[in-house]
Chain A
């Protein structure tokens, strides 16, 4: 989808064309799910969050001042909802015995180690890694939803992967597998 077409769809949606909003929603669904997953680390919650983000975006569409910034605006709504969910989850866990918090037993060690390495990344780095590898988004798609250039994405990805590699090495991950 070209930027021009996207802007036209946003303007049509602003004028009341719900189908245009539908096209935008289809276009950004995978991106939003990844944005939410970077915060929640839960597939189902991430999908729920993306759908809730569309609902909030639709009812607040009239407040969007820059149609060309639709995707970053949508992503920010999604992040806010996801962060509220983190708070809600934290509340739920706190009402229980902390000893009963979910464990990670029985999973592949490598997978757990890599997930741990992703988790320790600063938020921006974690988000770009998840966007790239969770649903296999293209640089084009990441650029659109984050509102940053492709070289910036590339730089962030490279730095994030270096940090992950360092973390994994420090935690005993075999170097020949990196």
Chain B
């Protein structure tokens, strides 16, 4: 087959653009770097998934509490393997097209055999103004009829267990134990509430809801397994908003739940985004490993709730009495606006739903303009894992000084409205409500917020937000903090964003990149 011959020129161009020497693979080095995976693989080979023996599996193999727990989690998943309840089921039949009452009952009966369930929980943030992003931190959860455990992995690196929680069923309620490796503390709490076995109950509940599914999704591969999904609007049950919906995916071969997605949960912290909670990597076991559900509290840890230690480190926080519902009014007003313009120093920012622009000035002379235009990004049939919204941003930069332009595409680049709405959503966490003030001839309500209330910001960082008392739209943002460099004369640093215009009459071409005639790319500068 010589299919490319007629395209000699373009073949050469492509080869020149992306071609490189074929990489070689050093398997010996790879083996040396992946001892853990090789051991796991060897253990799997020794113990086929249908011969479950627990005596050796649950032994303690490491001394450090964190690594021991993490290693134990790996052992469960990799050695026992999954259970195939339908080994003889015909491979190609689309059983999910039958009424769910028939096969749903089969699933519930099969789940009765499961004594321990292990799965992963991750949370993706879905911006109202851009892409979805999977969180780095995640949880591994272990569920049995009488015990539950959750290992939380660090949100900064995703590799270290920072917190473990055990909840044990008691004759008269439940006892919760929590160990924070991050804050080196633990606490124990006994309550009379019902023990909730978490995901197992959810499974039964979801299966019972399948007849209400809005649609059956096309099959898709997760972790190399073909799965079929059902989508159910959460408004069909409970007191949930219509914007929430769930997807439950079943392994086509085993019929067992393989993935659950809960979409559209608004973030209580960031008003500009929602969350998608994903449960996956389900493993089903027929035994209950005692050690996994036995709380292990390091001897030198102090008895305190992690929140107490964290709050003590951050210093006292004060909260003003912000009227209920005011934050929602402010956020709703800004989200309703189609366009926004503001000034920050020598920069003017223009924003619309699908495009934004920065103009940089020096002494009233326009030096540079940057346009960001977002468009749908095709990541293929299987898609980005959170495939509902994948946007790519194309940036066009025009430099009027050097008479050059540049066009480049990125998957990321944060929409300016996201940050604005994020800050506006903090008003219900304000330290104090400021006295009304007239700014730009508008009567404004103001809030002062300490930035230590989110992230790892320093004690000294303060935001002041001023909103139009009537329209609730943002009028000015002030940022203030103290530099940690004593050599600087002015220790206090500040900047502000102001002269906001909402839904103003912008020229039609505001968001259309305009490259002046005669401008070239940086390597081909036109004199």
Q: Confirm or deny: B153 has a beta carbon within 8 angstroms of a beta carbon on chain A.
A: no
A93 to B380 alpha-carbon distance, docked (Å) = 23
Query: Which of B260-268, B404-412, B500-508 lies at the interface?
Result: B404-412
Chain B contact surface mostly:
mixed
CB distance from A1 to the nearest CB of B (A): 14
The residue that A18 contacts in the complex, of B1, B41, B49, B133, with Cβ under 8 A, is B41
Tell me which residues across on chain B come within 8 A of A77, comparing CB atoms: 223-224
The residue that B385 contacts in the complex, of A37, A80, A103, A129, with Cβ under 8 A, is A80
Instruction: Tell me if A123 and B378 are in contact (CB < 8 A).
Output: yes
Interface flags, A99-143, vs B, CB<8A=1, else 0: 101011111111110111011001110010110111110010000
Tell me which residues across on chain B come within 8 A of A158, comparing CB atoms: 3, 7
Q: Confirm or deny: B367 has a beta carbon within 8 angstroms of a beta carbon on chain A.
A: no
A83 to B21 alpha-carbon distance, docked (Å) = 24
Q: Confirm or deny: A25 has a beta carbon within 8 angstroms of a beta carbon on chain B.
A: yes
A123 to B384 alpha-carbon distance, docked (Å) = 11
Instruction: Tell me if B18 and A133 are in contact (CB < 8 A).
Output: yes
Instruction: Tell me if A103 and B224 are in contact (CB < 8 A).
Output: no
Q: Confirm or deny: B510 has a beta carbon within 8 angstroms of a beta carbon on chain A.
A: no
Contacts A63-B82, A135-B22: A106 and B523 contacting too (C-beta < 8 A)? yes
Q: Confirm or deny: B454 has a beta carbon within 8 angstroms of a beta carbon on chain A.
A: no
CB distance from B360 to the nearest CB of A (A): 9
Instruction: Tell me if B78 and A59 are in contact (CB < 8 A).
Output: yes
A132 to B86 alpha-carbon distance, docked (Å) = 41
CB distance from B201 to the nearest CB of A (A): 26
Q: Confirm or deny: B338 has a beta carbon within 8 angstroms of a beta carbon on chain A.
A: no
A73 to B223 alpha-carbon distance, docked (Å) = 9
The residue that A94 contacts in the complex, of B225, B370, B382, B412, with Cβ under 8 A, is B412
Instruction: Tell me if B14 and A177 are in contact (CB < 8 A).
Output: no
Nearest 6 pairs between A and B by C-beta? A123-B380, A90-B412, A16-B45, A29-B25, A114-B17, A22-B27
CB distance from B417 to the nearest CB of A (A): 13
The residue that B1 contacts in the complex, of A106, A110, A127, A139, with Cβ under 8 A, is A139
Interface size class of A (residues with CB under 8 A): 35 or more
A73 to B38 alpha-carbon distance, docked (Å) = 19
Contacts A58-B37, A76-B224: A26 and B44 contacting too (C-beta < 8 A)? no
The residue that B49 contacts in the complex, of A15, A62, A87, with Cβ under 8 A, is A62
Q: Which of B10-54 contact A (CB under 8 A)?
A: 10-11, 13-25, 27, 30-31, 33-34, 37-38, 40-42, 44-46, 48-49
Chain A contact surface mostly:
helix
Tell me which residues across on chain A come within 8 A of B33, comparing CB atoms: 51
Tell me which residues across on chain B come within 8 A of A29, comparing CB atoms: 23-25
Instruction: Tell me if B1 and A154 are in contact (CB < 8 A).
Output: yes
Contacts A47-B23, A84-B385: A99 and B522 contacting too (C-beta < 8 A)? no
A63 to B15 alpha-carbon distance, docked (Å) = 37
Q: Confirm or deny: B221 has a beta carbon within 8 angstroms of a beta carbon on chain A.
A: yes
Q: Which of A34-78 contact B (CB under 8 A)?
A: 37, 39, 43, 47, 51, 54-55, 58-65, 73, 76-77
CB distance from B420 to the nearest CB of A (A): 14
Instruction: Tell me if A104 and B133 are in contact (CB < 8 A).
Output: no
Tell me which residues across on chain A come within 8 A of B18, comparing CB atoms: 37, 114-115, 118, 130, 133-134
Q: Confirm or deny: B60 has a beta carbon within 8 angstroms of a beta carbon on chain A.
A: no
The residue that B17 contacts in the complex, of A16, A33, A93, A111, with Cβ under 8 A, is A111
CB distance from B70 to the nearest CB of A (A): 15
Across the interface, name the chain A residue whose C-beta is closest to B158. Answer: A88
Instruction: Tell me if A103 and B1 are in contact (CB < 8 A).
Output: no
CB distance from B32 to the nearest CB of A (A): 12
Instruction: Tell me if A103 and B38 are in contact (CB < 8 A).
Output: no
CB distance from A134 to the nearest CB of B (A): 5
A158 to B78 alpha-carbon distance, docked (Å) = 43
Q: Which of A1-45 contact B (CB under 8 A)?
A: 14-16, 18, 21-22, 25-26, 29-30, 33, 37, 39, 43
Instruction: Tell me if B17 and A115 are in contact (CB < 8 A).
Output: yes
Across the interface, name the chain B residue whose C-beta is closest to A31. Answer: B22
Tell me which residues across on chain B come within 8 A of A22, comparing CB atoms: 27, 31
Tell me which residues across on chain A come within 8 A of B94, comparing CB atoms: none
A108 to B523 alpha-carbon distance, docked (Å) = 8
A43 to B20 alpha-carbon distance, docked (Å) = 9
Across the interface, name the chain B residue whose C-beta is closest to A39. Answer: B379
Tell me which residues across on chain A come within 8 A of B524, comparing CB atoms: 109
Instruction: Tell me if B413 and A101 are in contact (CB < 8 A).
Output: yes
Q: Confirm or deny: B134 has a beta carbon within 8 angstroms of a beta carbon on chain A.
A: yes
A156 to B521 alpha-carbon distance, docked (Å) = 32
Instruction: Tell me if A164 and B25 are in contact (CB < 8 A).
Output: no
Contacts A60-B223, A87-B133: A122 and B23 contacting too (C-beta < 8 A)? no
Across the interface, name the chain A residue whose C-beta is closest to B15. Answer: A133
Across the interface, name the chain A residue whose C-beta is closest to B392. Answer: A119
Instruction: Tell me if A79 and B382 are in contact (CB < 8 A).
Output: yes
Interface flags, A134-178, vs B, CB<8A=1, else 0: 111001000000000010001001100100110000000000011
A53 to B411 alpha-carbon distance, docked (Å) = 23
Tell me which residues across on chain A come within 8 A of B140, comparing CB atoms: none
The residue that A90 contacts in the complex, of B31, B45, B411, with Cβ under 8 A, is B411
A166 to B81 alpha-carbon distance, docked (Å) = 50
Tell me which residues across on chain B come within 8 A of A134, comparing CB atoms: 18-20
The residue that A114 contacts in the complex, of B14, B23, B395, with Cβ under 8 A, is B14
Instruction: Tell me if A154 and B382 are in contact (CB < 8 A).
Output: no
Tell me which residues across on chain B come within 8 A of A118, comparing CB atoms: 14, 17-18
Q: Confirm or deny: B246 has a beta carbon within 8 angstroms of a beta carbon on chain A.
A: no
Contacts A63-B224, A123-B379: A109 and B14 contacting too (C-beta < 8 A)? no
